[in-house]
């Protein structure tokens, strides 16, 4: 807070190719007009970065500006990205939505999941709402531990 009832304006940083100034302007508008707290976006076209932007605050309370290297938990944001990637791979014939997940990830077939298809998994019909076994703090950041826990989970 900069004074009674006022909040400092969110800052933006980064750069973009001149062809993508509309992207930069829309990104900045998220803070100025839409109440966004903090964010970053990087846009690549044909393997070349054309916009690398960041702005706002790294915490709910203004004072710590978002930086290029600000870390953030993405949690469910990845679901949309995964869905787009999977849809593309299915469209290219590199994944089969009706194939068992175990075709692509053999360990997943453990604990009665051998017949679970990719389609069932992606549409939340595989009977895997959560990991039931308690895991130590920090487990979500331990890729080998999480992969083995997910593979071992019974439906």
- Tell me which residues are annotated as active site: 76
The gap between the terminal CA atoms of the chain, to the nearest Å, is 49
- Cα 45 from chain centre: 19
| Gyration radius of the chain over CA positions | 21
Region label for 95, one of left (φ > 0), alpha (ψ between -120 and 50) or beta (otherwise): beta
Under a CB-based contact definition with an 8 Å cutoff, are residues 103 and 113 in contact? no
Q: Tokens at residue 104, please?
A: 């692509």
Q: Provide φ and ψ at 126, rounded to 5°.
A: -95, 0
Would you state the structure tokens that stand for residue 17, as one six-digit string? 């190719």
Q: Count of residues for the chain?
A: 155
Cβ atoms within 10 Å, residue 15: 11
């Amino acid at each position: 807070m900069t004074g009674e009832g006022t909040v400092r304006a969110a800052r933006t940083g980064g750069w973009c190719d001149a062809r993508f100034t509309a992207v930069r302007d829309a990104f900045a508008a998220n803070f100025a007009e839409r109440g966004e707290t903090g964010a970053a976006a990087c846009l690549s076209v044909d393997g070349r970065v054309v916009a690398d932007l960041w702005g706002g605050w790294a915490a709910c309370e203004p004072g710590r500006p978002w930086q290029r290297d600000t870390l953030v938990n993405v949690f469910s944001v990845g679901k949309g990205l995964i869905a787009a990637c999977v849809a593309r791979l299915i469209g290219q014939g590199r994944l089969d939505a009706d194939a068992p997940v175990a075709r692509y990830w053999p360990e997943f077939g453990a604990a009665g999941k051998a017949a679970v298809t990719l389609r069932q998994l992606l549409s939340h019909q595989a009977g895997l709402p959560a990991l039931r076994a308690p895991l130590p703090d920090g487990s979500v950041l331990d890729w080998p531990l999480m992969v083995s826990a997910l593979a071992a989970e019974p439906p």
